[in-house]
Amino acid sequence: MERHLAVIEREEPRIGAFLRVTEDLARSQAAEADRRLASGEGVTPLTGIPLAIKDVICVAGVETTAGSRILSGFRPPYDATVIARLREAGAVFLGMTNCDEFAMGSSTENSGYHPTRNPHDPSRVPGGSSGGSAAAVASGEAVYALGTDTGGSIRQPAALCGVVGMKPTYGRVSRYGLIAFASSLDQIGPFATGVRDAALVLQAVSGPDPRDATSADRPVDVLSELEAGVEGLRLGVPREYFQVEGMEPGVKATVERALLVLERAGAELVEVSLPHTDYGLAAYYIIAPAECSSNLARFDSVRYGLRVEGENLLETYLRTRRQGFGPEVRRRIMLGTYALSAGYYDAYYLRAQKVRTLIARDFEQAFLHCDAIVSATSPVVAFPLGAKLADPLAMYLNDVLTLGGNLAGLPGVSVPCGTSEGLPVGLQVLAPQWRDATALRVARAYEVARD
């Protein structure tokens, strides 16, 4: 822990991965871990290991703001379930990491506080929205980190920062205590430097929770296949995922080389098709804003967070929300409210839900022919700060290869697979629902074969 606090002190001026470092809490948890290790009681693989936490996951007594001014000063009175489980396991909390406001973004530039920089090249973004968590692991500030993934926010920053990131099957991990963005898509998951560490963290935080009705009572078996290799597995290569708009040739070539590594390790590559890929982005950018407009209605200044007084109650709501939310969050609330309003609901929201079903069926069909699907995680490498800020559509295109996994509720891992123009590239592995163990197995097999 002391070593990581020293790295944080050295690296933060350059990277800005953290919004808050919880040094006192870390020291007391480390002392508790020392006691456990001395007595041998209550020792788990995570005891004493320092982690960083995305600022959207509530930690009792620690300011948690979702990267937003509207929650400045908010100290949750309770722990999210994942936090309670890590505390129980003897973990050490280093602090809260920067993110796009309410997890809306792909570059961490939408933070209400400051941007985070990519440790591989500080003139570039770390990806987002969990960019602080990815950068904290990539720079050695934290051993592992928690992030959230609604459309790619774990996998994409993992790819851009050259670390492993995993989005579990929807329902694998409790969302209790997660500040909601889009409830039917959000999942919490780990960042680590290797697949094995990510799997250990996922194992520790998974499992049913009576406080989240969408958490599923499934066996927690994510480690069960880890070292089984890919000999005899069929890996689906979706034609459409290699032809998306804006795919950089260097990324494509790097991922194609990674597929050959998997083939040499014994996997059979089969071509599959996900015919509705082109409609995924449009459907996601209706469904996610619709859910966000509903979830963010609760920030009304009455019970907690920022309050800007007006002449009357309505004025107070308006002033608080106008000052407290940044431009991207306001854009999403307006888009979502519009898509849900009378007369437009059928044309936008309902239609987007139908497309969501078609996309889930595409994956079901593809998985009849393969055990997992492999592709690039992001069509591009880390881009310069500011490059896509003026063009929301260009920013949204970062998610084109990841958001299908959210719409269909699938588990997905991003594992580093080389570089393009000197910057990290991620290989994405998607598996059928509840086959988190298979996604991790393929990613691990790649790591072993690559090394």
Binding site for ligand GLN (CB under 6 A): 103-106, 129, 148-153, 181, 288, 399
Shortest distance (Å) from residue 295 CB to ligand GLN: 12
Q: Is 106 a catalytic residue?
A: no
In whole angstroms, the minimum distance from the beta carbon of 244 to ligand GLN comes to 15
Cα torsion angle, 363, 270, 398, 214, sign: positive
Partnered with residue 189 across adjacent β-strands are 147
Tell which residue, 107, 80, 74, 112, has the closest CA to residue 93: 80
CB of 96 to ligand GLN, least distance (A): 16
Query: Using CB atoms within 10 A of its CB, is residue 210 exposed (0-12), middle (13-18) or buried (19+)?
Result: exposed
The type of residue at 392 is: P
Are 116 and 12 contacting, i.e. CB atoms less than 8 angstroms apart?
no
Collect all residues with Cβ–Cβ distance below 8 Å to 278 and sequence separation of at least 6: 240
Match 């963005």 to its residue by tokens: 181
Which one from 130, 153, 174, 375 is the annotated catalytic residue? 153
As measured in angstroms, the least distance from the Cβ of 283 to ligand GLN is 12
Q: Quick one: 91 or 103, whose CB is closer to ligand GLN?
A: 103
Nearer to ligand GLN, 50 or 112 (CB): 112
Quote the least distance from Cβ 148 to ligand GLN, whole Å.
6
Question: Of the two residues 22 and 375, which places its CB atom closer to ligand GLN in the complex?
Answer: 375
| Active-site annotation holder among 129, 139, 215, 293 | 129
Q: Which residue in 71, 87, 102 sits closest to 22, CA to CA? A: 87
Q: Is the dihedral of CA 169, 232, 224, 152 positive or negative?
A: negative
Residue among 205 and 395 whose Cβ is closer to ligand GLN: 395
The residue among 50 and 131 lying less far from ligand GLN, judged by its C-beta, is 131
Q: Is 354 a catalytic residue?
A: no
* DSSP letter, residue 141: S
One DSSP character per residue, 389-409 reads TT-HHHHHGGGTTTHHHHHTT
Asked if the peptide bond before residue 129 counts as cis, ω within 30 degrees of 0, the response is yes
Residues noted as catalytic: 54, 129, 153
